[in-house]
Structure 1
């Protein structure tokens, strides 16, 4: 199905990855690899060339030979100076974050800066260790951070980050409360609240008037999704009481029992559309529904969030996809701008809009209407 082929931003990320790996790429090879036409690949290469991420040549592309016109050189043209180095600490290297890192690396390559990556965990103590190691090495001029900002000690963590000796920008994070210290921190993150609104409005447009939301218990994203949920339900005059905060992915002990309880509540309350965060949880729900003979989307429509593996389900799951690579790119561009312009640049806080990828789990086929 065409939905399983990479979308434009996915294709372009793959092209940049192949370029970094091989140094040059050919249109013919990329078309075969990505399962698209050669004109489509040429359009992708032209778009990447316009952003300075590669140099278009006859029949393919090579690594960029210069910065994109109009961008501030990151010390590249200053004789005798080393390139800027930006440290990046992310909580995971196997889900969600690889695409953020890929975008950051692409921007760093285009701007002529180096990126030092460190993996952490969803733990403040480990965050501090990894950040401290980068600082102590004395090689980074700025930091992109995705710290844990829930639980105890959040205020202390924010103060500690604010006191670091190099500029910092938070990635997919923002301080949960206003304080004089927190008010000075910059961040770039996905607009998850809007993403959830998009999911609710999509189901509403397809006739669903009782919708449920299943949120991950410990994800930093959940608070933003809950805000989007209540906002969308209020504006559409929908009940907002069906909000479950439980993890239901396959590795969670007792996940089948939890899903059974959620679906029993769906039947009793007349819910016909369900939004599940995140993808592994949505796949677990889809698998259980199929085993129980519940038709998707005829009996219940399903929408996931994150769009990391939603396309692997049967049927493929409609999902909200945060622009992860774009978040990484913007974070690097913001940091380079801050390092080059210094205190003269006003602080920035950027929201990056997600998109809704429609698949078979939420839209009934014509013969079912």
Structure 2
């Protein structure tokens, strides 16, 4: 084995990082990723399972669910599956949502329940159509929903959801504290505001006092990010005026001109770091900076929000990673708990904290003497 291969502790930390990212991992894929034998990976999985950090499954591992039973002697009887079917409607089946769906499926498999998935769009009429398909078939006992709660008709949509014939939990969505429905709607989502605070405080700790924010136009996440931005800037006594609401990904018409305008404003405001939502927009800005001869992070530090593909940037990009797979898992666990306990269980509204993944785009390397 070559000397540069990861030691056991580093290898297991990398294994857990992949598991948190995807919700489930396969021995074969990990062996290839870590450049070790499948036997070594199986030993690592066994060691981590013994500490309760993951659950061994055939050919790989999953994150443990909150409802997992404590480890017991070998050959223990398998728990009787809970005979529930849960419907799930998400606004997209690409970018961001696959990780949430994967987490939900992992939890469902571990709890012995069925998951019926429906893809929708960011449109209330289509949301209603897909939700109605599930409820009218009479095959689901609960619903996990991510409806469009922007624009006109939101109050009517919430009222309609609150009167559905089966329990409902919102996923990566939330209502106001009080809703005029027969039961207060439950929800689970990433704490995006805190995720933004993590990014601002990280840049502040590395000496940045003039930071800019680029928010993806039209994203439901933007309101939470703006809230966290204002809170962090206020507490750290930083100027908060530099906020741009534009989509600048490579597939956006005129993105180069928009980025050029943003960077002109950065020079005028002496901005030394940008937080960008989301990865495609951050990578587009990084690419433009490189073309113009800017050094990252020396001339401009960058932090992305989402961490879907930020590691593929050049340089690899520091990013805030919402706990997407965990959100999906917790949503299923909450629903099963609701279905098992019924009205005895108090309503829950859960925020799950994101992580800050440090890479080369935000931390200057120490120069060799």
TM-score, normalised via structure 1 length: 0.87
Root-mean-square deviation (Å)? 2.9
Shift of 1:179: 2.9
Partners of 1:188 and 1:364 lie apart in 2 by 36
Task: Note the residue ranges of structure 2 that are not aligned, 5 or more in a row.
Answer: 72-78
1:54 aligns with: 56
Give runs of aligned pairs for residues 272-311 of structure 1, distance below 5 A.
Answer: 272-311=272-311
Partners of 1:143 and 1:83 lie apart in 2 by 15
Partners of 2:219 and 2:61 lie apart in 1 by 39
1:276 is paired with a residue of what secondary structure? strand
1:10 aligns with: 18
For the pair 1:150 / 2:150, whether they are aligned, the reply is: yes
For the pair 1:32 / 2:13, whether they are aligned, the reply is: no
What whole-Å deviation, never above 9, does each CA across 1:342-367 have from its counterpart, x for those lacking one?
00000001111000001110011111
Distance 1:351 1:39, change over 3 A: farther
Partners of 1:183 and 1:245 lie apart in 2 by 36
Partners of 2:225 and 2:215 lie apart in 1 by 8
How many residues align? The count is: 348
Give runs of aligned pairs for residues 205-224 of structure 1, distance below 5 A.
Answer: 205-224=205-224
For the pair 1:77 / 2:85, whether they are aligned, the reply is: no
2:164 aligns with: 164
Shift of 1:273: 0.5
Shift of 1:40: 6.2
For the pair 1:191 / 2:191, whether they are aligned, the reply is: yes
Q: Note if contact 1:310-1:316 (Cα within 8 Å) is conserved in structure 2.
A: yes
2:24 is paired with a residue of what secondary structure? helix
1:308 is paired with a residue of what secondary structure? coil
Shift of 1:217: 1.3
For the pair 1:118 / 2:105, whether they are aligned, the reply is: no
Q: Note if contact 1:320-1:357 (Cα within 8 Å) is conserved in structure 2.
A: yes
Give runs of aligned pairs for residues 235-250 of structure 1, distance below 5 A.
Answer: 235-250=235-250
Partners of 1:191 and 1:42 lie apart in 2 by 35
2:74 aligns with: none
Partners of 1:188 and 1:84 lie apart in 2 by 20
Q: Note if contact 2:87-2:117 (Cα within 8 Å) is conserved in structure 1.
A: yes
Partners of 2:276 and 2:107 lie apart in 1 by 32
Partners of 2:46 and 2:187 lie apart in 1 by 30
Task: Note the residue ranges of structure 1 that are not aligned, 5 or more in a row.
Answer: 19-24
Q: Note if contact 1:12-1:48 (Cα within 8 Å) is conserved in structure 2.
A: no
Q: Which runs of 4+ in 1 moved over 6 A?
A: none
Partners of 1:63 and 1:155 lie apart in 2 by 38
Shift of 1:31: 4.1
For the pair 1:319 / 2:319, whether they are aligned, the reply is: yes
Partners of 1:144 and 1:70 lie apart in 2 by 27
1:21 aligns with: none
Distance 1:344 1:7, change over 3 A: same
Q: Note if contact 1:13-1:102 (Cα within 8 Å) is conserved in structure 2.
A: no
TM-score, normalised via structure 2 length: 0.87
Distance 1:268 1:108, change over 3 A: same
Partners of 1:207 and 1:348 lie apart in 2 by 39
Partners of 1:168 and 1:232 lie apart in 2 by 33
Distance 1:334 1:33, change over 3 A: same
Distance 1:109 1:318, change over 3 A: same
Q: Note if contact 1:298-1:368 (Cα within 8 Å) is conserved in structure 2.
A: no
